[in-house]
Amino acid sequence: MKQQNIKEAEPKPVRNDSLKEAMDQLRNDPTKENNIVVLNEVVSARLLAPVSMDREPELDPKTGEVILDKDTEIRFEIITNNKGELYYPVFTDGAELKKCSEEPDQRVLIVNFADLAAMIAAQNNQISGFVINPRGDNMVFPAEMIAKMSEEMMREDKEKEK
């Protein structure tokens, strides 16, 4: 996972144009084929996850990389739906993140599907899944679906190794 600050200039901003297009297509034409395209895009996407930290990270002046102290406590933001279920919010790009964050120095990590699946699995059913762009597209990925997708990905990886 990589960290970004949304106020800093980003040489390579996180954008998921093909994922956003696939989500729009699915919303307009909810077919099985369009659903599969969205799932494939989510698996390959790099998403922004808002976090808070108990201490400020340092920036390596030579590489420009963020360095976290090994004891840094990172807490991922969690949102609740109207049923009281907890979800990790993730965002396709900085503009979507800004719709939900009023903090001027919001910290974010760049995560992928595997990161999110592992985080949710580690929570022993306390986290119900993740939501992409909760104040925009609001696409929910329940924990059960994430687990099935992860199992399928592992099965495919094992078949490729043979």
pLDDT attached to residue 11: 41
pLDDT attached to residue 6: 40
pLDDT attached to residue 10: 42
pLDDT attached to residue 9: 40
The pTM score is: 0.83
**Encoding tokens for residue 11?**
């040489």
What would the DSSP string read from start to end of 126-161? Answer: SS-EEEESTTTT-EEEEHHHHHHHHHHHHHHHHHHH
Low-confidence stretches of the chain (pLDDT < 50) are: 4-11
pLDDT attached to residue 104: 66
Contacts of 112 (CB under 8 A, 6+ apart): 44, 45, 46, 47
Average of per-residue pLDDT values in the chain: 87
